[in-house]
Chains A and B, each alone.
Chain A
Amino acid sequence: MIRAFKTDLDMLIIIFSIAFLAVLPTIYNNYFFINSLFLASIYMISSTAWNILGGYTGLTSFGHAAFFGLGAYVLTISYNAGISPWLGILIAGLVPSIFALTISPPLLRLKGHWFALASIAVAEALKLFFNNWEYVGGARGIELSRREYSIYWIYFVEPTSYNYIALIFTAASIVSMQAIVRSRIGYYLQSIRESEETAMSVGIDPFRYKAIAMVISAFFTGVSGALYALRYRYVDPFSTMDLFISVQICLIAIVGGVYSFSGPMLGALTIVPIAEYFRAFIGGAYGARFFGIHLLVYGLVLLCLSLYAPGGIIDAIRKRLPRPIASRA
């Protein structure tokens, strides 16, 4: 089992990623690229958050879209009610956390495959519920009210400004999550993942810490959902709560490497632009004749990655680095 979680490699990648997100939009003023980076930062937050539950605690969830969608909806509703999105984003993180807290007593009794399946059921049920709930517009979804272009309302003409707002939240989220996992909590979570019985024997309450992991994971995923809503200004159950989103989040974490903190960040920076470019480049040129060809290529790439780099990109990198950087003494 690959273990080196506390590594300086993580720090390097965090700094690199944040710098990348900050600097590139200024040099390379291409809207498409900028939009891809925005999407990448959203997934960066949510995949890293997912990994706190997945890689650190060992609970694989395919239902994170529930948190994502809840965050998106809460932001939209509060925005339309007149609350500034700066506050709204925080509320958008809190509601999914409360939801996570509520469902954790039953849910956390499950493990492994069972937990994974249950998470799908929860997310799908929530999606169906929202689809039929008139208050949130049901299937018609909700549009963000039009306000003045301003920083207060996070509404801009150019896409670049959105990237900087996202950057602020991405940096804040990543730093917070990194602080959390470097603390005792992170250590406890990993020990729970290794062996619950052993953890209990040294006085760690597995349920308590799993719940904490889930709440943290939910909070930041909710934040990323809120950012999504702010950018695209329209939410509906299928675009924010579908299984597809859960799968994306999870896949990005896996591709990046779940056995490290910064793996998911790398995953987001590579997978998201690749998927976007495939769709625009290949799909736009050939998609009208060969429907879905960009997805086929994407699937093939993923398959190769899964077979040849099963530990993710981080793992592949780490094996090539000299020992001192790859794992802290």
Chain B
Amino acid sequence: MSLPVFSGEIIAQIIVDGILTGCLYALIAIGLAMIWGIVEIINFSHGEFLMIAAFLSYFLYTSVGLDPLISAPLAFITTFVLGYIIQRGIIDRILDAPFLSQIFATFALVLIMRNTMFVALGPDIRSISTWYSEAVIDIGEVRVSLVKLFIALIFITITAALHLFLTRTYIGTALRAISQDRIAAQLMGIDTRKIYALAFGIGAGLAGVGGALLSSFYYVFPEMGIPFTLIAFISVVLGGFGNILGPALGAIIVGLIQNIGAMVITPSMKDILVYIVFLAILLFRPTGIFSR
């Protein structure tokens, strides 16, 4: 494997693109962190919410011409509701079950969600193309993908909104309280069941937003969820949970590693680098790089 010679432009290109990709991952990662941190369940079906929202976005665009970036709030609501229902109906019952039983149920959920879409919509891969899907703008010498830039901006907005929600509202504070100490929170009179459902709903909703945004430039098919679920888990571990910034930064780091890895080793091995870094963090700083 020969190392191509890289100009400063290409390096800047890689870094910028990595960060932007990471912003998309970050939305999904934050969602997962909420579920994992508050409800304390490893949710393998996270990526499936993303997939459902992506399909919703696709159909809204092809039938009424609603742009995915604009239909993202609709996606959020849909997956929020779906997540809430699933939490109350299913997850709730296994909250006190041993780890393995929880896995059991979430795997089953993955199969059900994914194959419902398969049966209903068939295996065809769809994609949509908006005016900005392949558009690029040049910032200095770096070519920036417009859609990713939009996504990054949306990500910043959502993160800011989420932060406000978590710190300034009662519910938000309740959420944080539970993630820190479940028993104490209960003692303070917080209805944990409702809060769990809320947390799960928000987490799923964020994944949904990610899916809607993704559909604007990626392709939509029933099996698209798994890679993003994995990346979300890796991001959360890298960045640590307990706050929003941790998983977000973790996700951005994953995006960067992928891009850098693709350039330095062969592109098909870029994920190996991600896994290695992941394992290293797990070993040396399991609470995450940015956790308190």
Contacts and interface: CB of A to CB of B under 8 A. Distances in A.
A4 interface: no
Contacts, number: 122
Contacts of A258: 100
A125 B90 CA distance: 32
A47 B106 CA distance: 19
A306 interface: yes
B229 to A, nearest CB: 10
Interface residues of B, number: 43
Contacts of A118: 278-279, 282
Contact of B276 (A125, A243, A311): A125
A247 B118 CA distance: 20
B268 A132 contact: yes
Contacts of A101: none
Contact of B111 (A131, A295, A305, A307): A295
A86 interface: no
Interface in A288-305: 290-293, 295-296, 298-300, 302-303, 305
Interface of B: 42, 90, 93-94, 97-101, 103-105, 107-112, 114-116, 118-119, 122-123, 222, 226, 230, 233-234, 237, 266, 268-269, 271-272, 275-276, 278-279, 282-283, 286
Enumerate the 7 nearest inter-chain pairs by beta-carbon distance, A residue then B residue, closest first: A299-B111, A292-B118, A296-B115, A302-B108, A303-B108, A299-B112, A310-B101
Interface of A: 54, 60, 106, 109-110, 112-114, 116-118, 120-122, 124-125, 128-129, 131-132, 243, 247, 250-251, 254-255, 258, 290-293, 295-296, 298-300, 302-303, 305-307, 310-311
11 contacts: A60-B100, A117-B278, A124-B275, A128-B271, A250-B103, A251-B107, A299-B110, A299-B111, A302-B111, A306-B94, A310-B97
Given A109-B283, A129-B269, A307-B90, 14 more contacts: A117-B278, A122-B279, A124-B271, A125-B272, A125-B276, A128-B271, A128-B272, A132-B266, A254-B101, A290-B119, A291-B123, A292-B222, A296-B112, A306-B94
